[in-house]
Structure 1
Amino acid sequence: MTVASTSVSPIRVLIVDDHPMVRDGITGLLVRQPDMEAIGEASDGAEAVTRFRELAPDVVLMDMQMEGTGGIEAIQEIRALSRDARILVLTTYAGDANAIRAIRAGASGYLLKNCIRSELLDAIRAVHAGRRVVCSDIAHALAQHALDEPLTEREIAILKLVAEGHPNKQVAWRLSLSVDTIKAQLKTIFEKLGVHDRTHAVTVASRRGYIER
């Protein structure tokens, strides 16, 4: 009697990261898994979109911050190509604002690069199965700030200029706003972030992923 094969095709993973050593490390990890295979790599978001078109991977491992086209833009473009695309963010950026942007863009999961290998492998399997995955540190941050009012795009633009060291007058000039408007906006920003000065505002906004320093 002939027994039918029950083998299952491995999960085909596209690895997107601007550091070759990171890509090599993940590839080496996947090679040792009987249910996974690394089918391609990309070093930035634009290349990720091209490789996605070419390879149609089951899961995309996506870095957030890369030269040129970043992770958020790549996630949006890939999801525009396929609403069924499964994208797992793997990043060093722990801020809740970053995670929210990625999930809203269409990511199925958000992990930090310091996660243990088994966590990454389990996350790939979970995302492939259609589940959402968020690492515990990010989940805690999301819960902590769930009821906070988010910063607006204008407030983020102001904070970016403040982080660069510009005084209110220069911030106002660059954004074509009045100095009084900048002062009022900073007051609102301080309230939303729970801080009392510009330096602390920049520190908290950077930690939460609103801005980069």
Structure 2
Amino acid sequence: MKTAAIGVLLVDDHFMVRRGLAVALRVEKDLAVVAEAGNCEEMLAAYRQHRPDVVLLDWRLPGPNGAEATALLREEHPGARVLMLSALDGDEHIHLAVRAGAAGYVLKSAERGEIIQAIRAVHGGKSYFSPGLEALLHDRARKVEISPREREVLVRAAAGERNKEIGDHLGISEATVKVFMARIFQKLDARDRAHAVVIAIKRGIIDPS
């Protein structure tokens, strides 16, 4: 008896990326691209209609990002199997994806064979991470987390605002902003605010604007 192919839903806002992935996956007899989507809303609609076995999901999407889209999908369909495929390799990106319910995280720089291996693993109920990513996740668990308020301060600092401007926007004093910045420097092991912003963007704590 012939085994049914693994149905894959491709989610990426770039049409050519989806086309390339579709061509690469359709070569495999046990994989079938059942639908494509360019954003979270399209993904949810496609999932309801096609009920794919695995959702191959990019992080950067218009509207909700990959982690947020994963959370929305799994809230509606708790059994959904999501594999994140992204160019972003910050420990915070991986953490947020896993926390939202993603079963794996593969870098877009991965070879075709690795992506196929990851899809099969996730479909089989296992997790899969590109080499080195699990170590990043474990390292993050040992780091002191940035609080939501500290993240807000970082976002403002990344926009080039000075302490007084940050305080005015957040409704806190300039002195309090300085306290937050000192904590941020310590938590990120940063030399100064510019260094802190660079580290935060690289790790995925804040998005580049």
| TM-score, length of structure 1 as denominator length | 0.95
Secondary structure of the structure 2 residue equivalent to 1:149: coil
Secondary structure of the structure 1 residue equivalent to 2:42: helix
Residue 84 of structure 1 deviates from its aligned partner by: 1.0
Q: Which residue of 2 aligns with 1:73?
A: 68
- Specify the structure having the higher radius of gyration (Cα): 1
Q: Which residue of 2 aligns with 1:136?
A: 131
CA distance in 1 between partners of 2:64 and 2:49 (Å): 18
Q: Which residue of 2 aligns with 1:173?
A: 168
Q: How many residues align?
A: 208
Alignment root-mean-square deviation, CA: 1.0
CA distance in 1 between partners of 2:90 and 2:64 (Å): 20
Residue 144 of structure 1 deviates from its aligned partner by: 3.1
CA distance in 2 between partners of 1:65 and 1:174 (Å): 27
Counterpart check, 1:42 vs 2:37: yes
CA distance in 2 between partners of 1:55 and 1:94 (Å): 30
Q: Aligned partner of 2:6: which letter?
A: I
Query: Where in structure 1 are there 5+ consecutive unaligned residues?
Result: none
Counterpart check, 1:57 vs 2:52: yes
Q: How does 1:149-164 map to 2 (within 5 A)?
A: 149-164=144-159
CA distance in 2 between partners of 1:152 and 1:52 (Å): 34
CA distance in 2 between partners of 1:203 and 1:192 (Å): 14
Contact 1:94 1:137 (C-alpha < 8 Å) held by counterparts: no
Secondary structure of the structure 2 residue equivalent to 1:64: coil
Residue 38 of structure 1 deviates from its aligned partner by: 0.3
CA distance in 1 between partners of 2:150 and 2:178 (Å): 11
Q: Percent identity?
A: 38
CA distance in 1 between partners of 2:151 and 2:117 (Å): 35
Residue 140 of structure 1 deviates from its aligned partner by: 2.9
Q: Which residue of 2 aligns with 1:12?
A: 7
Residue 133 of structure 1 deviates from its aligned partner by: 1.0
2:183 to 181, 188, 195: 188
Residue 177 of structure 1 deviates from its aligned partner by: 1.1
Contact 1:75 1:87 (C-alpha < 8 Å) held by counterparts: yes
| TM-score, length of structure 2 as denominator length | 0.96
CA distance in 2 between partners of 1:152 and 1:54 (Å): 39
CA distance in 2 between partners of 1:139 and 1:116 (Å): 18
Q: Which residue of 2 aligns with 1:199?
A: 194
CA distance in 2 between partners of 1:65 and 1:31 (Å): 24
Q: Which residue of 2 aligns with 1:95?
A: 90
Contact 1:44 1:68 (C-alpha < 8 Å) held by counterparts: yes
CA distance in 1 between partners of 2:140 and 2:74 (Å): 27
Residue 139 of structure 1 deviates from its aligned partner by: 2.0
Which one is further off, 62-71 or 21-30?
62-71
CA distance in 2 between partners of 1:137 and 1:159 (Å): 27
Q: Which residue of 2 aligns with 1:127?
A: 122
